[in-house]
Amino acid sequence: MPHYLSKTNKLKEFLQLLIGHPMGFFGVVIIAIFLGMAFFAPFLGTVDPAASGDVDNLLMPPSTQFWFGTDDLARDIWSQTIYGSRISLTIGFVAALITVISGTLVGLIAGYYGKSLDEVLMRIVDFFMMLPELPLMIVLAAVLGPSMWNIILVVSLVSWPTTARVVRSQVLSLKERPFVESSRCIGASNFQLMFSEILPNVVPLMFAQAVLMITEAIYAEAVLSFLGLGDPTSISWGMMLHSVFESGVISESYWWVIPPIVSIVTLIVSFSLLGTAVSDVLEPGYKEKKGY
Amino acid sequence: MALIDVENLKLYFMTRRGPAKAVDNIGFSIEKKKTLGLIGESGCGKTTTAMSLMKFVKPPGEIVGGSIRFMGKDIVPMSDEQIRQLRGKEISIVRQEAQNALNPVLTIGKQITEMILEHESVTRETALARAKKQLNLVGISDQRINSYPHEFSGGMKQRAMAAIATACNPKFLILDEPTTGLDVVVQRQILVMLRNLKEELGLTAVFISHDLSVVAETCDRVAVMYAGKIMEESDTVSLYQNPLHPYSTALIGAYPSLKGARRQLKSIPGAPPSLIDPPPGCRFAPRCEWAQSICDEEPAINSIDGRRVACHFVKQ
Amino acid sequence: MGLKRFFLRKVVAAALTIAVIVCANFFIFRMAPGDPVRMMFRDPRVSEGSLELMKQKFGLDKPLSGQFVAYVKNLAQGDLGLSFSQQKPVLEVLAERIPNTLLLVVTALIIAIVLGVILGAIAGWLSGTKLDTFILTASVAMYSIPTFALGIILLLVFAYLIPIFPLGGISTPASGYEGFELIADVGWHMFLPAFSIVIWYIGEYVILTRSSMIEVMGQEYITTAHAKGLKKHTILKNHALRNAMLPVITITGVNLAFAAAGVIEAETVFAWPGVGRLAYDAVSQRDYPLLQGVFMLFAFAIVLANLVIDLIYGYIDPRIKVGG
């Protein structure tokens, strides 16, 4: 079966093409920087971001002691910014993981088995897709209460239908391909067909969806936190913006607003660029178009 | 003077690995009111040649040499605007039945009248009347003038295409596999329609196909193409009864006959050559039964009794 | 399939969707921890006696099914409950704010769609050129930036740093503007929030129109049009654009969910007194009835807008208008 041949080569080739793509390159670099920020947070001159400090240090502009200044509870903004990357990236990856896995399973089963199972599953998917995303997330988050896991749950709940639909489409067309027929002829079971034959061919699509979902999840966390639905025990970039807004000192504390805004925008745009690059590279004929 | 006169035409596709010589130094001419058939295997260059007669060259393709004369004027150096004015009006094309060859959001009537109005200064009413006449000409009721393409069957779509293509009474019609993909009954209808059109409008045509029997019925002369070159060109009857080039012989021999004794099907072994790096000399040599060392040299084109053959072994 | 049957199908589907939303709304809010009565009537000044009455009215003393029936009955009569943070019935609060949101959203969408489609068509027609790459990259960036983040940046730069625009709200308070002055004042206030929404939409529509154009241009009938010797702009207008627009119209309906998000974010950042801002207010005040009302309003509006768009599409696409 073709997809088993030189899997590592294919992966290397894919990464090469991705980095060769201008958007892909830019995206990968920026994301790597943020990943570094998240991993090495404790070593980057940071302190506990939630620790309120001295009353003397309230709302201080950047200085040698506080590189990005302090907020209205004398907390170090530099630390908040660095540690905030952990929250955004964690929520992004975990929510994307849950979404892609559940969406793919549903899409795989619905597409493969077809008929009434497909009908039922797709009705459920359609129902979810009818509800507007942000209003739904707000309502769910408000009702479930502010916590990181609730945010992850809410984001996954709202996003998995898209993945399910997309995967199902591909499974439908893959189902008819000769290699599936031939495997069925030599007696492969449904389970084997789904997971050993069809699934590997869906992996590139899953990857594209994953990048998309990460983008969505990071954005969702930022918005929900900004609107006041975030986890108050973990200070994410969105929460920082929420605090600035609530405190009403936005005009006098540019140092408090700029780091979270720049971080959010940069991270999300990078993932978006990466996503565009991934879908370009996965388009059939991309390699040839670029002259390889 | 022949209506169409092609000389030394070279059309290459510029790929990263070098130019693919899709059409390499071919020449033929078509007299007024005559139909030339162009046959050959897939990929031999016949469609590329046909499209080039209207200067439809898709990049990375380029005409790198030769001339294509329409009524004495060479179209190769013409500007986009000049060739645009010829298309539809003087030279028209009916292509292979494709699901999407007709614009799905415009009525058939609109698709005919827009062409008439583009090339001739007539009133809308005149254009509409002529559009209806065109439909009748191809065997479609003029009641369907306001129908949309999705309401037509495959055969009807093909006839509609013919109605559109001949709306401005062009002098030359390119028929690129017009019956391919249609079932035999519909094929017959289309062929009959095309014959009527040709007689009514006095059309000169080139008919591209890989279907030898269809070509035999409709064409006065036939040119056989292989790997970008013309192997043989002669009048239809002589070619079919007495093919001179080894490739033509093999091609016609490969066709089973409805009558006559049953025999084993003969196919031509091997595959067509690479167009980027074709064999030196005669391109058919690698698959030819009678090939010898002299075949490494480009064969001269021998003319015999108004027939032309590109082979070392047919001399007189 | 015929236009009538198509319309009927779409209307029925919309009705079903609304029914589903009504049910979903009910069940979601029953998930909240805590006493539902206290949740709905947080105002501690409400007496026990009134609370009992309310309980009965909303069927909260009955089992779940009873509550649901009461809920639907109330809904049908337009009773969406009481917003205690606004001290008014929810319906009234919503009705007050809807015009403001409509003003903002409709203006932003019209500008964005027109510009987006034009730029996208150009990019698609000129696919592969430098201009196309530039437009494409800019568009990807534009639709990636979260609306609220863009709003905050605009606010900082153009309202605080370089005070060209006001800090928020819909008009200058106590100014007594009338007529044309009022329009200008509102417009001045509307500029930044509308801009935030427009940016995302333009990006999305450019990408959409562009890929639709590219796909259309690869179709056979474009080659046919060239073979007919038609002028380039005739081909662009009658053949390419007309077909490329069809998927764009369809997707407009799908995109309305993003309009909802954009409106919520922009109104929050710029304190624009619309329904989007209500969501933020309701959340910060834990005003669940109001939040419920806002959610339903958005969901209903999107379903209705989608229905209208589907009907328009049915008219425009001859394959539906004249059944196949």
Q: How far apart are CA B32 and CA A256, in angstroms?
A: 83
Q: How far apart are CA B112 and CA C257, in angstroms?
A: 42
Band (pLDDT 50/70/90 cuts) for residue A4 is very low
Q: How far apart are CA B226 and CA C245, in angstroms?
A: 43
- Tell me which chain C residues have a C-beta less than 8 angstroms from the C-beta of B85: 229
What percentage of chain B exceeds 90 in pLDDT?
A: 8
Strands B35-39, B221-226: pairing is parallel
Q: How far apart are CA A70 and CA A52, in angstroms?
A: 9
Say which of B87, B105, B107 has its CB closest to residue C229. B87
For chain C, list residues with pLDDT below 70.
1-2, 31-63, 323-324
Q: Please compute the mean of the pLDDT values over residues B108-132 and round it to a whole number.
A: 90
Residues paired with residue B221 on neighbouring β-strands, in sequence order: B36, B235
Question: Which residues of chain A from 186 to 225 reach within 8 Å of chain C, CB to CB?
Answer: 215, 219, 222-223
pLDDT of residue C324: 46
Say whether A132 and C148 touch across the interface (CB within 8 A). Answer: no
A23 touches chain C (CB under 8 A): yes
Residues paired with residue B92 on neighbouring β-strands, in sequence order: B173
Following CA atoms A148, A152, A158, A162 in sequence, which dihedral angle do they give, to the nearest 10 degrees? 160
What would the two tokens of residue C96 be?
A: 């007050």
Which of the residue ranges A79-88, A111-120, A186-195 has the most confident prediction, judged by mean pLDDT?
A79-88
Question: pLDDT tens for residues B12-24?
Answer: 888 878 888 888 8
Query: Quick one: angle between helices C3-30 and C288-316, nearest 10?
Result: 170
- Tell me which chain B residues have a C-beta less than 8 angstroms from the C-beta of C220: 95, 98-101
- Which chains form contacts with chain B, at 3 or more CB pairs under 8 Å? C
Say whether B86 and C229 touch across the interface (CB within 8 A). Answer: yes
pLDDT of residue A89: 93
- Tell me which chain B residues have a C-beta less than 8 angstroms from the C-beta of C318: 104-105, 107, 148, 150
C280 touches chain A (CB under 8 A): yes
Question: pLDDT tens for residues B99-110?
Answer: 788 998 899 999
What Cα–Cα distance (Å) separates residue C97 from each residue in C104, C279, C289, C292? 11, 11, 16, 15
Q: How far apart are CA B183 and CA B189, in angstroms?
A: 10
Q: Which residue of A has its CA nearest to C289?
A: A139
Tokens 């015999």, residue located: B304
Tokens 């939040």, residue located: C291
What would the two tokens of residue C263 be?
A: 């409106």
Residues paired with residue C89 on neighbouring β-strands, in sequence order: C82
Residue of C1, C221, C222, C228 for testing the chain B interface, max B β-carbons within 10 Å: C228
Say whether B95 and C239 touch across the interface (CB within 8 A). Answer: no
Helix then strand then coil, in percent of chain A rounded to 5, is 75, 0, 20
Q: How far apart are CA C249 and CA C227, in angstroms?
A: 29
Question: pLDDT tens for residues B25-77?
Answer: 888 888 888 899 998 887 788 888 888 988 888 878 888 888 899 888 898 88
Say which of C231, C318, C324 has its CB closest to residue B118. C231
State how far residue A5 is from chain C, nearest Cα, in angstroms: 33
pLDDT of residue C109: 92
Question: pLDDT tens for residues A229-287?
Answer: 888 888 899 999 999 888 877 777 888 899 999 999 999 999 999 998 888 888 777 77
The strands making up B229-235's β-sheet, listed across from edge to edge, are: B91-94, B172-176, B204-209, B35-39, B221-226, B229-235, B307-310, B301-304
What would the two tokens of residue B88 be?
A: 């539809």
What would the two tokens of residue C314 be?
A: 């049915």
Say which amino acid occupies C307: L
CB-based contact C140:C146 (threshold 8 Å) = no
Residue of A25, A128, A131 for testing the chain C interface, max C β-carbons within 10 Å: A131
Q: Please compute the mean of the pLDDT values over residues B256-278 and round it to a whole number.
A: 73
Which one has a higher pLDDT value, C232 or A1? Answer: C232
Q: How far apart are CA B81 and CA A245, in angstroms?
A: 61
Q: Which residue of C has its CA nearest to B86?
A: C229
Q: How far apart are CA A24 and CA A273, in angstroms?
A: 6
Say whether C156 and A227 touch across the interface (CB within 8 A). Answer: no
Say whether C229 and B56 touch across the interface (CB within 8 A). Answer: no
pLDDT of residue B274: 79
Question: pLDDT tens for residues C191-220?
Answer: 999 999 999 999 999 999 998 998 888 888
* Residue A122 scores a pLDDT above 80: yes
DSSP string, A35-72: HHHHHTGGGSS---TT----GGGTTPPP-SSSTT-B-T
Say which amino acid occupies B85: Q
DSSP string, B89-115: TTEEEE----TTSS-TTS-HHHHHHHH
Question: Which residues of chain A from 113 to 172 reach within 8 Å of chain C, CB to CB?
Answer: 127, 130-136, 138-140, 142-145
pLDDT, chain B, mean:
84
Question: pLDDT tens for residues B208-247?
Answer: 988 888 888 888 899 988 888 888 888 888 888 888 888 8
pLDDT of residue A222: 94
Question: pLDDT tens for residues B295-306?
Answer: 777 777 777 777
Say whether C260 and A135 touch across the interface (CB within 8 A). Answer: yes
- Tell me which chain C residues have a C-beta less than 8 angstroms from the C-beta of B150: 318-319, 324
- Using alpha carbons only, give the angle C40, C43, C48 rounded to the nearest 5 degrees: 85
Which one has a higher pLDDT value, A179 or A103? Answer: A103
Q: Please compute the mean of the pLDDT values over residues B137-156 and round it to a whole number.
A: 87
* Residue B88 scores a pLDDT above 50: yes
| Least confident window among A145-154, A210-219, B126-135, C56-65 | C56-65
- Tell me which chain B residues have a C-beta less than 8 angstroms from the C-beta of C231: 84, 118
CB-based contact B144:B135 (threshold 8 Å) = yes
pLDDT of residue A1: 40
Say whether B164 and C228 touch across the interface (CB within 8 A). Answer: yes
- Tell me which chain C residues have a C-beta less than 8 angstroms from the C-beta of A135: 260-261, 264, 279, 294-295, 298-299
C259 contact partners, CB below 8 Å, separation of at least 6: C105, C109, C197, C201
pLDDT of residue A90: 92
**Dihedrals φ, ψ of B220, to 5°?**
-85, -40
C1 touches chain B (CB under 8 A): no
What would the two tokens of residue C207 be?
A: 């990408």
Band (pLDDT 50/70/90 cuts) for residue B316 is very low
* Residue A9 scores a pLDDT above 80: no
pLDDT of residue C24: 82
Burial tier of A159 (Cβ tally within 10 Å: 0-12, 13-18, 19+): buried
Q: What ipTM does the predicted assembly reach?
A: 0.85
